[in-house]
Amino acid sequence: MTWSNIKWVFLREMRDQLRDRRTLFTIAVLPLLLYPLLGMGFLQVAQFSRDHPTTILILGDDALPASPRLIVREEGTPEDGRFADEFCEQKVARLLELKIRKQRSAADLGQAREAVRTGEFDALVYFAPDFGKKLDAFRARLLKRSPSSSSTDRLDRSAEQDAVDLAELAVPEPQIFVNTASDKSRIARDRVERILRSWRESIVQDNLEKNDIPVAATRPFGLVNTDVARERSRRAAVWSKILPFVVLIWALTGAFYPAVDLCAGEKERGTLETLLCSPAQRSEIVFGKLLTIMAFSMATSLLNLLSMGMTGVFIISQLNRLGPGAMQVMMGPPPLGSMGWIVLALVPISALFSALSLAIAAFARSSKEGQYYLMPLLMITLPLMMLPMLPTVELDPGTSLIPVTGMMLLLRSLMEGQYLESLRYALPVIGITAICCLLAVRWAIEQFNNEAVLFRESERWDLGLWIRHVVRDRAETPSLAEAIFCGVMLLMIRFFASFLVGMPDGWSRFATTTVVTLIAFIAAPALLMTVVLTRSPRKTLLLRMPRPAAIPMAVLLAIVIHPVGVALAEGVRWLYPFSNDMLEQLEGVTGLIADAPGIWSLLVVLALAPAICEELAFRGFILSGMRHMGHKWAAIFASAVFFGATHGILQQSITACAVGAVIGYLAIQTGSLLPGILFHFVYNSLTLLMATTIPEWADQHPAFRWLYSTGPEGLMYNLPVLLAGGLLAAAALMWFRSLPSESSPEESLQDALDHQTAQPALK
Amino acid sequence: MIKVRELTKAYSDLRRGPFVALASISFEAQAGQIYGLLGPNGAGKTTALRILSTVLQPTDGSAHVNGFDVLTQPSLVRRQIGFVSANTAIYDRMTGWEMVEYFGHLHGIEPEPLRARMESIFTRLQMNETRDVLGGKMSTGMRQKVSIARAIVHDPPVLIFDEATAGLDVLVARALLSTVDELRDQGKCIVFSTHIMREAERLCDRIAILHRGHFLAEGTLAELLEQHQEPDLEELFFRLISDHDSASEKQLVAS
Q: Using one digit for the tens of pLDDT, what is the confidence trace for A140-188?
A: 877 766 555 444 444 455 666 666 666 666 778 889 999 999 989 999 9
- Quick one: A255 and A161 in the same domain? no
The CB density around residue A113, as the number of other CB atoms within 10 Å, is 18
In angstroms, the CA A661 to CA A677 distance is 13
Structural domain contains residue A106: yes
- Quick one: A596 and A730 in the same domain? yes
The CB density around residue A418, as the number of other CB atoms within 10 Å, is 16
Structural domain contains residue A761: no
Q: Is B4 helix (H, G, I), strand (E, B) or coil?
A: strand
pTM: 0.76
Contact status, residue A168 vs residue A180, Cβ threshold 8 Å = no
How far is the CA of A84 from the CAs of A69, A125, A196, A424, A537, in angstroms?
7, 15, 11, 61, 85
In A, which residues are within 8 Å of B88 by CB distance? 270-271, 273-274, 277
- Whether A234 has a pLDDT exceeding 80, the answer reads no
In angstroms, the CA A346 to CA A252 distance is 11
Q: Which of A428, A454, A480 is the last residue of a domain?
A: A454
- In angstroms, the separation between the Cα of residue A306 and the nearest Cα of chain B is 29
Q: Which of A439, A454, A469 is the last residue of a domain?
A: A454
Contact status, residue B142 vs residue B134, Cβ threshold 8 Å = no
Confidence (pLDDT) at A34: 83
Phi, psi of B57 (to 5 degrees): -105, 140
In B, which residues are within 8 Å of A276 by CB distance? 54-55
- Beta bridge partners, A717, equal A708
Using the Cβ of A108 and the Cβ atoms of chain B, whether some distance falls under 8 Å is answered with: no
- Quick one: A58 and A30 in the same domain? no
- Whether A461 has a pLDDT exceeding 70, the answer reads no
- Quick one: A401 and A321 in the same domain? yes
DSSP B54: T
- Quick one: A448 and A420 in the same domain? yes
DSSP B72: T
The interface predicted TM-score of the complex, written ipTM, equals: 0.90
Nearest to B14 among A454, A469, A755 (CB): A469
Structural domain contains residue A542: no
- Quick one: A35 and A141 in the same domain? no
In angstroms, the CA A46 to CA A41 distance is 8
- Quick one: A304 and A363 in the same domain? yes
In A, which residues are within 8 Å of B57 by CB distance? 451, 749, 752-753
Q: Which of A410, A435, A454 is the last residue of a domain?
A: A454
Phi, psi of A220 (to 5 degrees): -65, -25
Structural domain count of chain A: 3
Structural domain contains residue A417: yes
- Quick one: A211 and A283 in the same domain? no
Structural domain contains residue A544: no
- Quick one: A590 and A651 in the same domain? yes
Using the Cβ of A472 and the Cβ atoms of chain B, whether some distance falls under 8 Å is answered with: yes
Residues 6 or more apart in contact with residue A757 via CB below 8 angstroms: B72, B73, B75, B76
Using the Cβ of A459 and the Cβ atoms of chain B, whether some distance falls under 8 Å is answered with: yes
- Quick one: A443 and A349 in the same domain? yes
Using the Cβ of A451 and the Cβ atoms of chain B, whether some distance falls under 8 Å is answered with: yes
Reported residue count of chain A is 763
Phi, psi of A60 (to 5 degrees): 85, 40
Segment holding B60, helix H or strand E: strand B60-65
Q: For the domain covering B2-254, report its CATH number.
A: 3.40.50.300
The CB density around residue A376, as the number of other CB atoms within 10 Å, is 10
Structural domain contains residue A444: yes
In angstroms, the CA A410 to CA A244 distance is 10
pLDDT per position as a tens digit, B100-131 = 999 999 998 999 999 999 999 998 888 888 88
In angstroms, the CA A342 to CA A132 distance is 63
Confidence (pLDDT) at A49: 64
Q: Estimate to the nearest angstrom the gap between the alpha carbon of B205 and the chain centroid.
A: 14
Structural domain contains residue A517: no
In angstroms, the CA A696 to CA A715 distance is 11
Residue A242 CB-density burial (10 A; 0-12 exposed, 13-18 middle, 19+ buried): middle
Transcribe A297-317 into DSSP letters.
HHHHHHHHHHHHHHHHHHHHH
Instruction: For residue A247, name the pLDDT band (cuts at 50, 70, 90).
Output: confident
How far is the CA of A57 from the CAs of A63, A79, A113, B52, B110, in angstroms?
15, 10, 10, 86, 88
Q: Which of A39, A81, A42 is nearest to A61 (CA)?
A: A81
- Quick one: A98 and A237 in the same domain? no
Contact check, Cβ <8 Å, B71/A20: no
The angle formed by the CA atoms of residues B45, B48 and B49, to the nearest 5 degrees, is 85
Structural domain contains residue A271: yes
pLDDT per position as a tens digit, B29-68 = 999 999 999 988 888 888 999 999 988 888 889 999 998 9
How far is the CA of A416 from the CAs of A233, A262, A309, A395, B87, in angstroms?
6, 38, 18, 12, 55
Contacting A with CB below 8 Å, chain B residues are 12-15, 17-18, 53-57, 71-76, 78-79, 81, 83, 85, 87-94, 98, 102-103, 105-109, 134, 147, 150, 154
Domain ranges of chain B: 2-254
Contact check, Cβ <8 Å, B55/A8: no
- Whether A519 has a pLDDT exceeding 80, the answer reads yes
Q: Which of A761, A628, A632 is nearest to A284 (CA)?
A: A761
Contact status, residue A342 vs residue A349, Cβ threshold 8 Å = no
Half-sphere exposure of A525 (CA within 13 A, CB side): 22
Q: Which domain holds residue A658?
A: 549-747
In angstroms, the CA A337 to CA B57 distance is 53
The CB density around residue A462, as the number of other CB atoms within 10 Å, is 12
Least confident range from A446-455, A457-466, A642-651: namely: A457-466
- Whether B161 has a pLDDT exceeding 70, the answer reads yes
- Quick one: A265 and A191 in the same domain? no
Nearest to B75 among A273, A281, A749 (CB): A281
CA torsion A161-A162-A165-A171 (nearest 10°) is -160
pLDDT per position as a tens digit, A358-404 = 988 888 888 888 888 888 888 888 888 888 888 778 888 888 888 88
